[in-house]
Structure formats: structure tokens, C-alpha cells
């Protein structure tokens, strides 16, 4: 941003309309080529990374996404700029943009709209994280203090709103079809959070309710990622539908696996401390299955007493995690997650054989072994 002064306010820096632009205190990001050199694809996509033709293309495209992400959230207001950059600078695997890019390689991946769509889905994802962390009172995200811990709840919520507004501006430039997909996806994200907050209806099975929540909160955006990538690469509608079904199912598998990781102690793989969900009172799939089992199983009832007890001390939490990990409902939860992953792979049957189909298949298997 230039140092021009705002009329009527001598000596004060000018602010661009609606906060767009870059404040003087923000350094320009490195060029795309430099970003590409530092990109390492997630382990689940090792086949892509090793492909001599597709690997470099995907890395370069991800670098373009990364650069445009930073440009999209740049703000002439220094506070808004700092809060918006907070999670982007904390890193992330960029799974959703990667799925946009992969889907585009079923058609014409060279169109600029593909990169723009990848930026949109990641901005949307980031916006939800700001909101989720406030609602969950989460102290950390990606190894860094959450925005609400640094700036407070109101600023964190407004930052999420601001980032989603930027995503909406970008998607509006992609046309009405993309805008409709974005709007419906965000509606599902909000409904999923609402339904998670209020819980199942009295006549609703808790496990079915939870799966529907996961489908809305996670599956919807993963599905939109593949769909948008395919649309802007001129992929047939038939294959677009395949990617939507795949995305819904693999997104559910991803979250269900995350539930189990919380009680299996796989911190070194996921970066998540065992028992985080238990301590926060989040009833994920293993706990829901445990509640069902506790009706007729005395051992399950004992474990449930530990899980739903006071977990404020590390000792109590460790005891609850160990008991739940060793109960059969944990393996049952893994089985449910694997079933969703298998169904995601089965949905890919109509795709042409090749590196893209193979990579999507490997990703579905990897999410239930947490090799992501």
C-alpha cells in the first residue's frame, strides 16, 4: 500500500476500500518458484510426488495456490492482516486444494480458474477453523495458539467471517455455478456445527446423527473440492458426480479416523494429544458406541464411567484413554472408518485408470491408517 494520506486526516496512512491491499508492515511473499521448492506433498500422495511428469506440475500449482492464499487474505488494516495470516502461517497439509488440482487432471488442468477454485476451498476451510476453535475452546491449532487465545473470541469470529467474505468474493468471479456450490457447502458446514452443538433429537439414533454431522462438517467441503476442480477442467458431469460421492465418503472416513486417533495415542502421526476430545467432552464415534454397549455390557459401563468422569488431571485422562483404547468399541470404530474409506474407493470405479485415480485410492486408504 502506498503512503498516500487520507483527505481530511493529515499524516495518517490511507486504507484501501474494504481493507483490501497490503499494509506497509507486511513483507511481500517469495515468488512462486521459491515456494514450490519448499512444498512437500503429504505422505498419502507419495505416488504423485514420485511421478516425473505430474509431480512437478502439482507442486508448482500448489505453490501458486499458496501465493494466492496469502494475497487473498492480505489486508491494509494491520490487525485484520495479522489475524487472517495467523493460521495460514501455521501451515497445514492443503488437502482440499490438492484434491481440486488432482481432479482437474482428469481434464484440462491449465485453466487459471482451477487455481482460484483451490484457493476458495482452502479459504473456506480456514474460516471454519477460526469458528470451530472458538466453539470448542481449543487452545492450539497446528501447533500454534488459536486466534481466540491471542486476540479473544470476538476478533477470532470476525476473522473467520472476513476470510469467508474473501472466499466469497473470489468464488463470485468464478461464475454462478461455483457460487452455488460454495453457498450450499457453507450452509452444510453451518448446519453440521449447529446439529453437533444441539445434539440428536430424542427420536434420532446418536450414531446416525453423528455421521450426518461429520458428513456436513467435513465431507461437504472435500466433495466440493473435487467437484470444483473437475468443473473448471471441463471434466464430464458423470465424473464430477463420481468425485462428489468420493469426497463425501472419504471426508467422513477422515474424520472418523481422527476420532479413533484421539484414543489410540497416535500423537506422533496426527499431532493430536491422546484424549483431547475426551477431556473436552466431545462425544465422538468410540464414545457413542461405548454408550450403546454399556446398556448390556458391565465392562463397557465401567469404561464409560471413567470416560465421563472428571478428566482434568493427566492421570485420570490417561486411565480413561487406556480403558477406551483397549475396549472392542475402538476396533469397531476403526472398522466403520475403513468401511467409509472402502466405499470411497469403490465410488472411483468409473474414473479412467491412471495416476490420478491411483492417488485418490491411496489417499482413501491412507486416511484410515493416518499416513496423511
Residue 26 lies in a domain: no
Whether residue 216 is found in the same domain as residue 307: no
Q: How far is CA 275 from the centre of its chain?
A: 20
Residue 15 lies in a domain: no
Structural domain total, the chain: 2
Whether residue 309 is found in the same domain as residue 296: yes
Whether residue 141 is found in the same domain as residue 51: yes
Mean pLDDT, rounded, of the chain: 86
The answer to whether 195 and 212 are in contact (CB under 8 A) is yes
In tens, the pLDDT along 320-344 reads 999 999 999 999 999 999 999 999 9
Q: What pLDDT does 90 receive?
A: 82
Domain that includes residue 291, residue range = 240-371
Report the pLDDT averaged over residues 22-37: 55
Residue 4 lies in a domain: no
Whether residue 176 is found in the same domain as residue 290: no
Whether residue 222 is found in the same domain as residue 265: no
Q: What is the pTM of this model?
A: 0.87
Residue 271 lies in a domain: yes
Please give the Cα distance from 367 to 219 (Å, whole number): 13
Burial-class residue 314 by CB neighbours within 10 Å (0-12, 13-18, 19+). Answer: exposed
Whether residue 249 is found in the same domain as residue 218: no
Whether residue 203 is found in the same domain as residue 324: no
Show the beta-strand stretches assigned E in 140-226.
Answer: 140-141, 144-145
Residue 113 lies in a domain: yes
Residue 275 lies in a domain: yes
Please give the Cα distance from 99 to 64 (Å, whole number): 15
Whether residue 216 is found in the same domain as residue 280: no
Whether residue 55 is found in the same domain as residue 68: yes
Which of 206, 235, 264 is the endpoint of a domain?
A: 235
Whether residue 51 is found in the same domain as residue 177: yes
Residue 6 lies in a domain: no
Q: What pLDDT does 46 receive?
A: 80
Which of 203, 235, 267 is the endpoint of a domain?
A: 235
Please determine, for residue 32, whether its predicted confidence score (pLDDT) is greater than 70: no
Please determine, for residue 271, whether its predicted confidence score (pLDDT) is greater than 50: no
Beta bridge partners of 141: 144
Which of 210, 235, 260 is the endpoint of a domain?
A: 235
Whether residue 231 is found in the same domain as residue 259: no
Residue 21 lies in a domain: no
In tens, the pLDDT along 177-209 reads 999 999 999 999 999 999 999 999 999 999 999
Region of poorest pLDDT, from 25-34, 88-97, 100-109, 137-146: 25-34
DSSP-assigned letters across all residues of 97-157: HHHHHHHHTTS-TT-HHHHHHHHHHHHHHHHHHHHHHHHHT-SEETTEE-HHHHH-HHHHH
Please determine, for residue 269, whether its predicted confidence score (pLDDT) is greater than 50: no
Whether residue 160 is found in the same domain as residue 248: no
* Domain containing residue 184: CATH number: 1.10.600.10
Amino acid at each position: 500500500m502506498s503512503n498516500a494520506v487520507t483527505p481530511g486526516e493529515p499524516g495518517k496512512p490511507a486504507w484501501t476500500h474494504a481493507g483490501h491491499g497490503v499494509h506497509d508492515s507486511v513483507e511481500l511473499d517469495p515468488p512462486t518458484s521459491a515456494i514450490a521448492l519448499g512444498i512437500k506433498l503429504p505422505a498419502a500422495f507419495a505416488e504423485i510426488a514420485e511421478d516425473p511428469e505430474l509431480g512437478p506440475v502439482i507442486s508448482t500449482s500448489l505453490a501458486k495456490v499458496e501465493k494466492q492464499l496469502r494475497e487473498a487474505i492480505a489486508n491494509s488494516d494491520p490487525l485484520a492482516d495479522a489475524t487472517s495470516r495467523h493460521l495460514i502461517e501455521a501451515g497445514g497439509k492443503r488437502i482440499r486444494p490438492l484434491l481440486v488440482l488432482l481432479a482437474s487432471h482428469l481434464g484440462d488442468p491449465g485453466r487459471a480458474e482451477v487455481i482460484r477454485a483451490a484457493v476458495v476451498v482452502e479459504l473456506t476451510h480456514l474460516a471454519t477453523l477460526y469458528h470451530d476453535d472458538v466453539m470448542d475452546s481449543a487452545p492450539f491449532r497446528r501447533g500454534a495458539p488459536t486466534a481466540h487465545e491471542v486476540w479473544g473470541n470476538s476478533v477470532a469470529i470476525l476473522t473467520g467471517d472476513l476470510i469467508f467474505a474473501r472466499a466469497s468474493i473470489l468464488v463470485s468471479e468464478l461464475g454462478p455455478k461455483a457460487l452455488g456450490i460454495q453457498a450450499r457447502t457453507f450452509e452444510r458446514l453451518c448446519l453440521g456445527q449447529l446439529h453437533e452443538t444441539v445434539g440428536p433429537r430424542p427420536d434420532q439414533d446418536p450414531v446416525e446423527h453423528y455421521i450426518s454431522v461429520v458428513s456436513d462438517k467435513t465431507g461437504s467441503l472435500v466433495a466440493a473440492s473435487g467437484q470444483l476442480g473437475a468443473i473448471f477442467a471441463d471434466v464430464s458431469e458423470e465424473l464430477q458426480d463420481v468425485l462428489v460421492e468420493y469426497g463425501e465418503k472419504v471426508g467422513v472416513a477422515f474424520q472418523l479416523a481422527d476420532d479413533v486417533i484421539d484414543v489410540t495415542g497416535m500423537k506422533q502421526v496426527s499431532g493430536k494429544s491422546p484424549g483431547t476430545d475426551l477431556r473436552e467432552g466431545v462425544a465422538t464415534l468410540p464414545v457413542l458406541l461405548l454408550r450403546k454397549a454399556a446398556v448390556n455390557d458391565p465392562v463397557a459401563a465401567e469404561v464409560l464411567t471413567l470416560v465421563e468422569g472428571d478428566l482434568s488431571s493427566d492421570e485420570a485422562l490417561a486411565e480413561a484413554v487406556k480403558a477406551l483404547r483397549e475396549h472392542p468399541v475402538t476396533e469397531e470404530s476403526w472398522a466403520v472408518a475403513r468401511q467409509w474409506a472402502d466405499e470411497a474407493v469403490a465410488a472411483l470405479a468409473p474414473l479412467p485408470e491412471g495416476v490420478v485415480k491411483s492417488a485418490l485410492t491411496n489417499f482413501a486408504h491412507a486416511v484410515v491408517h493416518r499416513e496423511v
